[in-house]
Structure 1
Amino acid sequence: MNRFFTYQLNLFLLAVSFFTRLPVHQDVNYSSQKLHQAGRHFALIGWLLAAILSGFYLLVIPYIGIAPSICLLVILSLLLTGALHEDGLADTCDGFWGAHTQTGKLSIMKDSQIGTYGTCALITMLLTKTVLLYTLAVNGHLILGLFIAYPLSRGLALSHTQHLGYARTSAGYSKSQSLASAMQPTALLWLFISSSAALLWLPFTDALMIVLAGLSLRYVMKCWFKVHIGGYTGDCLGFAQQVQELLIYLLLLVSVHDDSVLSPLEAISL
């Protein structure tokens, strides 16, 4: 049993090193196979980031107020992940709308330079996210939103590897190629549980609405990825995570007007 938890801890630390800029001890055992297995803990990275951002928000809000705290929170979130998912959003928009052929789209997505489509997507996404987080904060549900959206959006994004093939067939190295094969059923079950656990804070109907909407959006994006490039890349997963996160915030704003919805701090105080 101890060996099992040690192995899982190593996988979790691999996930931390891959999906964040948080420091990880250099003795972590790496291999491409282990990195693939570490994908099962992607949602736990969401929990970790949500905890850090929530602590930061609670620390600074008494001194500078809601709006500046949200702006700094968004900046901190970019620093914590190295804008990994935002980069995927921009590259996907540049590639899908900047070329007509699959080869051309993949080539643009590989380019480190950002184009007009990517710039517009980033500006729109960051502005919308800031406004949604501010509104959740005003309603007293920011922390709830972070703990639901961060894990669930990551779990839904990574689940695309189950039903889509990796779009790049060339021999060039890609950081996300280790995640390309489908997960085992037990790993997929753990990803689902760890992604959706925070939904227990919501009434059943609200939680069901978010799950069904997320799955519907996942299906639409799966078809969209397949039409454009015949599968997915790491950039597509970043795009999916960002869009799912925004959808969850929007749906939470619908839910927070219900008095039966409690924030985590309110639930603990009861």
Structure 2
Amino acid sequence: MRRYFESFLLMLQILTRIPINKSLPCENTDFKRGANFFAIVGLVIGLIQFVVYSFLIKYFNLDIAVIFIIIIDVLITGGFHIDGFGDTCDGFFATKGKDKIIDIMKDSRIGTFACIGIIINLLIKFIGYTTVLNNTTSYIIILLPIISRVSIVLISYIGKAAKKTGSGNLFINTVTFNEVIINYLLFILIAIFMLDLKKLLLILVISIIITILFNKYCNSKINGITGDSLGANNELVMLILLITLSGKF
């Protein structure tokens, strides 16, 4: 039980900026075990966003509350996944050829396509959250960070590593079907008390489809996935779900 708790703390250290003042084991088995807790990390992030939103909506209009939801997400994660999204935009749209794409994705400098991608990302989140929160339960603020992190576990399982080394390889091809099922079950157990069955199934189906399609797209571009791909998938799932939930279903 102690090792599982330490693996959970390790995931909090990696995926968020939440201060964990503890030296933790970092063996491959610790990361594999930690993959069981991606949904819980998403829950922590979502709960913090929900608390901030619930406070702000009492005193400010919806637009202001949504802006702070987005800011809180960036602050908690350190822009970790958005950075991967931007790097992926730079690599995939700026050039062709696996090696060149990966080199661009590794470059710490931000390019034109990364700027465009991140701006579009933030705009969709702002418009999406504003629309969704007018039409459905505010619990969606909690659920989207969970399902997007669960999708990272799924793509780590179905994908293959595009590079021999890299931080993404701690999870890519290391995660097993057990970790995938555990994360989806955790999401369902949480969501079933917050959403009607129709929206719950919609979120599950779309998140899985987007993850499978993005994995195929990455294979066509770089013959696999990287750590940046994991972050990009997290963002894509969240963005597509916001767009979908904004519709009149």
TM-score range, shorter chain: over 0.9
The alpha carbon displacement at 1:251 in A equals 2.9
In 2, Cα distance between equivalents of 1:87 and 1:195? 25
Aligned partners of 2:124 and 2:243 also within 8 Å: no
Residues 35 and 153 of structure 2 are in contact (CA less than 8 Å); yes or no, is this contact kept in structure 1? yes
Shift of 1:160: 1.1
Q: 1:252 maps to what in 2?
A: 245
The residue aligned with 2:227 is 234
Over 3 Å counting, the alpha-carbon distance change for 1:219 and 1:185 in structure 2 is: closer
1:105 aligns with 2:101: yes
> Displacement, 1:188?
2.5
SS across alignment from 2:57: helix
1:156 deviation in Å? 1.3
3-state SS, counterpart of residue 63 of structure 1: coil
Verify: 1:125 aligned to 2:140, yes or no: no
Q: 160-169 vs 13-22, which deviates more?
A: 160-169
Q: Which residue of 2 aligns with 1:218?
A: 211
* Paired residue type of 1:132: G
- How far off is 1:78 after superposition? 0.2
Q: What is the aligned partner in structure 1 of residue 174 from structure 2?
A: 182
Deviation string 1:80-133 (CA, Å, 9 cap, x unpaired) is: 000000001100010011121100000000000111111111000101101111
Shift of 1:139: 3.4
- The normalised TM-score by structure 2 is 0.92
C-alpha root-mean-square deviation of aligned residues, in Å? 1.8
Q: 1:24-173 residue pairs with structure 2 within 5 A?
A: 24-139=20-135, 141-142=137-138, 144-169=139-164
Alignment gaps of 5+ in structure 2: none
* Pairs aligned (count): 248
CA distance in 2 between counterparts of 1:151 and 1:109 reads: 26
Work out the CA distance in 1 between the residues paired with 2:23 and 2:107.
32
Unaligned runs of 5+ in 1: 258-270
Residues 137-179 of structure 1: CA distance to partner in whole angstroms, max 9, x if unpaired? 333523x21222111111112211212211112x5xx332211
How far 1:237 sits from its partner (Å)?
Answer: 0.8
Higher Rg: 1
Q: Residues 137 and 209 (structure 1 numbering): CA distance in 2 closer, same or farther, change over 3 Å? A: closer
Kindly indicate whether the alpha-carbon contact (under 8 Å) linking 1:148 and 1:196 is maintained by their aligned counterparts in 2: no
Aligned twin of 2:184? 192
- In 2, Cα distance between the equivalents of 1:198 and 1:116? 39
Q: Among the aligned pairs, what percent are the same residue?
A: 22
* Contact 2:162/2:224 (<8 A) preserved: yes
- Amino acid aligned to 2:187: S
